[in-house]
């Protein structure tokens, strides 16, 4: 009785939902960043699952690409958090609101 | 293997399809490295090096204009469509580089990274337009986005710029994650990520019901990602703040290149590959188009900052683009291409004027950017040429003949009518009427009011060349639209 | 089939219940006389000096980010190495291009003095 494809997909969807909730609910920019990473990794899990289901390796190769993209994104994201912290001494998203319509 | 055979082999593998954006990326790296060894006094050469890269790539696109090639195992494709968009991106980038040459120096950000990132972003946009495989498209999107995240925060010392970058980054990364999940679902539903496989799997109405559901969910997720890049309501929240806080030249670049790239990818994915889902997507697009146009135009009226006003105007224009995408079909999509070309000239021109107008003598912040709309009152008296150029762009943006904006909107709305979306076209025309108010207010201020705050125009020669090119382009597209419209139709025909 | 695991489930529940009960009971029944020493983070250890969340030099951050990016890039080498022979000359050239791009980044970091720890 192995783990089925749909179970993997359910976990992936759940991870994605947790990530979405994290982005929408948490106020610390670093936690928001981590939540985005969680969403990307949920997609990675889906890719690997589908690759297994389809019996190919394409999905696994895609995951490598996604990981590289995610690393670049995190590097830039952390730098932006740092710049925000240096100009405003905060990492709280709600405090970053000098511009309003 | 001798040299000739290797070259031949590479050509047969479709490397030709990669040449244009590879050239841009190579020149980006060259600029980045050159900057490390340049003396501060030699930094003036940077924009010219970047421009040389843009011209080189444009030359390669022109050389390959009539070629067709598919490369890298069916990941990218060179055809008239990708060539058209490559030219649009290169045109936009070239003009932005010209505008930047004085702006960046004045604002103290004349660094190699600035131009290198501009070029990297352009190569990403070109990759998006020529990708015929979802992951390649995603990579292009990320190359463009990550470059723009950095560029929008390029004024590191200014809180507004940091805030612009933070908002753009958080929402941008959020949207890319949605997009990626959509790609994962497409991969699961069709077993491959190439557009050809998508068309095969979902091309007929006969695909299994469960796959249909999966494809719908995937399309929805993909749509969210692209709507974010387009700046369509309700994914527009980042637009005003990012446009206001980012360096003005970067704002111009963002509004033109990133929007055009999103439109290109949209046409390739939804227009050429998933046309069987069109009934479902067009209902969603209809709603998006209406809210985007309306919100953009109505909120733009209330703005006092010129960059913010142009930001809402760009949201409204995303709405017009969505009208064309809703209309679909070859007429709808070729009107998108014409619109994008017209949009490059008029929007870059408007932001270009904004980047050249500065506060004059007498204030504490003389020489700073004059960003308040009231700064534009009486501009015609002091800087006749600058005011005249701005007037042309405003007339074009509001869609009054004989300018590019008129024909752009004309093609979009007539495509909508032909596709049976009469209601949508009427809403679009009404929205254009609303927009006349806030565009013409600028013209009114410049020509009818007395000067309140002394302002002066920058004397950057490169900036003036860029402005002249924008005015010429705006008028040319307005006077001789048919040859450009034919070009757009041909480009669309190459992907169907 | 799942029924075979039922004793394990009961055992887990019992263990968890017992542990929770002990913690809960000691919380309810125990006497609490907080003193300054008891409330310090390390009751029998060294007295903490300052805030644990102090700032540290930016260099650590930059090194970490550089490591992150280059480490991920190395992940592409493994699948390439596995089918290296099949890819033949074109594969070698493609990897050379990839490495050249990384080298550009490396040169950039070098000239920006990211690797100079002293100064």
Determine the distance in angstroms separating the CA of A15 from the nearest CA of chain C, rounded to an integer. 22
Cβ-Cβ contacts under 8 Å, A78 against chain C: 61, 65
Question: Chains with 3 or more CB pairs closer than 8 angstroms to C?
Answer: A, B
Q: What is the pLDDT of residues C72-96, one digit of tens each?
A: 888 888 888 988 888 888 889 889 9
- Residue A67's nearest CA partner among B135, C114, B125 is B135
Calculate mean pLDDT across residues A71-93: 86
pLDDT value, residue B5: 59
Q: Do C68 and A75 touch (CB under 8 A)?
A: yes
d(CA B121, CA B144): 4
Size (chain A), residues = 101
Bridge partners, B372 (sequence order)? B305
- Does position A100 have pLDDT exceeding 60, yes or no? no
pLDDT value, residue C119: 63
Cβ-Cβ contacts under 8 Å, A62 against chain B: 135, 187, 193
Determine the distance in angstroms separating the CA of B9 from the nearest CA of chain C, rounded to an integer. 9
Cβ-Cβ contacts under 8 Å, A61 against chain C: 79
Domain spans of chain C?
A: 55-119
Second-level CATH architecture of A5-88 = Orthogonal Bundle (1.10)
- Does position A101 have pLDDT exceeding 50, yes or no? no
Q: Give the count of alpha carbons within 13 A of C7, CB side only.
A: 1
List the pLDDT tens digit at each of the 496 positions of chain B: 455 555 666 666 678 888 999 999 999 999 999 999 888 888 889 999 999 999 999 999 999 998 888 888 888 999 999 999 999 999 999 999 999 998 888 888 888 899 999 999 999 999 999 999 999 999 999 999 999 999 999 998 888 899 999 999 999 999 999 999 999 999 988 888 899 888 888 766 555 555 677 888 889 999 999 999 999 988 898 999 999 999 999 999 999 999 999 999 999 998 888 887 877 888 899 999 999 999 999 999 999 999 999 999 999 999 999 999 999 888 999 999 999 999 999 999 999 999 998 887 766 677 788 888 888 888 888 888 999 999 999 999 999 988 999 999 999 999 999 999 899 999 999 999 999 999 999 999 999 988 888 888 888 889 999 999 999 999 999 999 999 999 999 999 988 8
CB of B13 within 8 Å of a chain C CB? The answer is yes
Cβ-Cβ contacts under 8 Å, A67 against chain C: 72, 75
Per DSSP bridges, beta strands B76-78 and B69-71 are: antiparallel
CB of A74 within 8 Å of a chain C CB? The answer is yes
pLDDT value, residue B370: 83
Q: How many CB atoms lie within 10 A of CB B224?
A: 19
CB of A49 within 8 Å of a chain B CB? The answer is yes
**How many contacts does A have with C, using Cβ atoms within 8 A?**
25
The H-assigned helical ranges of B238-378 are: 238-245, 248-253, 259-266, 278-301, 306-327, 329-356
Q: Which of B1, B13, B32 is nearest residue C104 as measured by Cβ atoms?
A: B32
Determine the distance in angstroms separating the CA of B472 from the nearest CA of chain A, rounded to an integer. 34
Determine the distance in angstroms separating the CA of C52 from the nearest CA of chain B, rounded to an integer. 27
Check residues B110 and C40 and name the one with the higher pLDDT.
B110
Report the number of distinct structural domains present in chain B: 1
* Tokens matching residue B207: 């695909």
d(CA B397, CA B390): 10
pLDDT value, residue A68: 92
On whether residue B6 sits in a domain, the answer given is no
On whether residue B93 sits in a domain, the answer given is yes
Q: Do B36 and C111 touch (CB under 8 A)?
A: yes
Q: Do B36 and C108 touch (CB under 8 A)?
A: yes
Cβ-Cβ contacts under 8 Å, B241 against chain A: 99
The H-assigned helical ranges of B107-208 are: 112-130, 134-152, 159-190, 195-202
Give the domain extent around B66: 16-493
Distances, alpha carbon B232 to alpha carbons B239, B257, B274, B311, B323, in Å: 9, 15, 21, 12, 11
Domain spans of chain A?
A: 5-88
Mutation target for C interface from B10, B19, B32: give the one with most C CBs within 10 A. Answer: B32
Q: Do A65 and B139 touch (CB under 8 A)?
A: yes
Bridge partners, A25 (sequence order)? none
Q: Give the count of alpha carbons within 13 A of B104, CB side only.
A: 25
Q: Do A78 and C72 touch (CB under 8 A)?
A: no
Calculate mean pLDDT across residues C20-40: 85
**% of chain C at pLDDT higher than 70:** 97
pLDDT value, residue B1: 42
Q: Which fold has domain C55-119?
A: Methane Monooxygenase Hydroxylase; Chain G, domain 1 (1.20.58)
Q: Do C69 and A78 touch (CB under 8 A)?
A: no
Q: Could you report how far apart the first and last alpha carbons of chain C are, in Å? A: 67
CB B21 within 8 A of CB B56: no
- Does position C32 have pLDDT exceeding 50, yes or no? yes
With residue A38 as reference, give the H or E element that holds it.
helix A29-54
Tokens 């969505």, residue?
Answer: B322
pTM for the model stands at: 0.90
Query: Hey, which residues 120-179 in chain B have their CB within 8 Å of chain A?
Result: 135, 138-139, 142, 146, 149-150, 153, 156-160, 162-163, 165-167, 169-170, 173-174, 176-178
Q: Do B33 and C108 touch (CB under 8 A)?
A: yes
């Amino acid at each position: 009785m192995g783990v089925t494809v749909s179970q993997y997909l359910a976990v992936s969807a759940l991870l994605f939902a947790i990530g979405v909730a994290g982005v929408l609910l948490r106020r610390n920019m670093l936690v928001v960043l981590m939540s985005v990473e969680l969403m990307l990794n949920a997609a990675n899990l889906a890719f690997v699952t589908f690759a297994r289901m389809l019996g190919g390796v394409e999905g696994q190769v895609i995951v490598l690409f996604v990981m590289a993209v995610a690393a670049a994104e995190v590097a830039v994201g952390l730098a932006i958090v740092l710049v925000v912290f240096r100009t405003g001494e905060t990492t709280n998203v709600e405090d970053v609101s000098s511009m309003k319509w | 293997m001798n040299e000739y055979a290797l070259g031949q082999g590479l050509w047969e593998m479709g490397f030709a399809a990669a040449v244009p954006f590879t050239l841009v990326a190579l020149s980006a790296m060259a600029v980045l490295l050159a900057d490390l060894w340049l003396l501060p006094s030699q930094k003036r050469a940077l924009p010219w090096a970047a421009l040389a890269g843009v011209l080189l790539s444009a030359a390669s696109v022109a050389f390959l204009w009539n070629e067709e090639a598919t490369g890298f195992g069916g990941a990218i494709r060179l055809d008239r469509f990708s060539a058209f968009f490559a030219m649009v991106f290169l045109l936009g980038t070239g003009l932005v580089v010209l505008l930047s040459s004085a702006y960046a120096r004045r604002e103290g950000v004349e660094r190699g990274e600035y131009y290198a990132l501009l070029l990297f972003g352009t190569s990403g946009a070109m990759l998006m337009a020529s990708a015929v495989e979802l992951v390649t498209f995603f990579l292009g999107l990320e190359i463009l986005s990550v470059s723009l995240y950095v560029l929008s925060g390029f004024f590191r010392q200014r809180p507004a710029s940091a805030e612009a970058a933070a908002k753009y980054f958080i929402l941008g990364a959020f949207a890319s994650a949605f997009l990626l999940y959509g790609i994962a679902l497409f991969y699961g539903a069709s077993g491959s990520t190439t557009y050809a496989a998508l068309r095969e799997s979902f091309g007929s109405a006969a695909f299994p019901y469960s796959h249909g559901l999966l494809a719908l969910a995937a399309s929805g997720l993909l749509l969210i990602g692209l709507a974010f890049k387009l700046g369509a309501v309700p994914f527009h929240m980042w637009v005003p703040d990012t446009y206001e806080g980012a360096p003005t030249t970067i704002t111009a670049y963002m509004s033109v290149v990133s929007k055009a790239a999103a439109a290109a990818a949209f046409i390739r994915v939804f227009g050429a590959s998933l046309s069987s889902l069109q009934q479902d997507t067009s209902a969603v697009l209809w709603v998006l188009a209406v809210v985007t146009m309306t919100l953009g135009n109505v909120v733009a009226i209330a703005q006092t900052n010129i960059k913010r006003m142009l930001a809402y105007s760009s949201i409204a224009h995303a709405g017009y683009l969505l009208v064309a995408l809703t209309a679909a079909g070859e007429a709808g999509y070729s009107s998108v291409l014409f619109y994008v070309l017209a949009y490059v000239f008029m929007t870059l021109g408007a932001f270009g004027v904004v980047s050249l107008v500065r506060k004059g003598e007498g204030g504490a912040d003389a020489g700073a950017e004059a960003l308040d709309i009231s700064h534009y009152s009486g501009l015609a008296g002091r800087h006749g040429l600058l005011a005249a150029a701005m007037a042309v762009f405003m007339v074009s943006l509001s869609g009054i003949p004989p300018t590019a904006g008129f024909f752009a909107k004309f093609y979009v709305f007539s495509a909508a009518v032909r596709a049976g979306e009469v209601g949508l076209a009427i809403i679009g025309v009404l929205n254009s009427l609303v927009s006349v108010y806030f565009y013409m207010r600028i013209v009114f201020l410049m020509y009818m009011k007395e000067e309140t705050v002394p302002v002066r125009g920058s004397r950057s020669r490169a900036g003036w060349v860029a402005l002249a090119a924008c005015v010429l382009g705006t008028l040319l597209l307005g006077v001789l639209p048919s040859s450009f419209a034919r070009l757009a139709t041909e480009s669309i025909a190459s992907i169907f | 089939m799942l029924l075979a695991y039922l004793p394990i489930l009961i055992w887990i529940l019992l263990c968890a219940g017992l542990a929770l009960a002990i913690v809960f009971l000691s919380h309810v029944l125990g006497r609490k006389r907080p003193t300054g020493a008891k409330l310090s983070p390390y009751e029998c250890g060294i007295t903490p000096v300052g805030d644990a969340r102090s700032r540290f030099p930016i260099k650590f951050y930059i090194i970490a980010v550089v490591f992150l990016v280059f480490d991920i890039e190395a992940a592409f080498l493994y699948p390439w190495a596995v089918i290296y022979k099949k890819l033949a000359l074109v594969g070698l050239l493609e990897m050379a291009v990839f490495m050249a791009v990384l080298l550009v980044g490396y040169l950039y970091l070098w000239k920006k003095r990211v690797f100079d720890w002293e100064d």
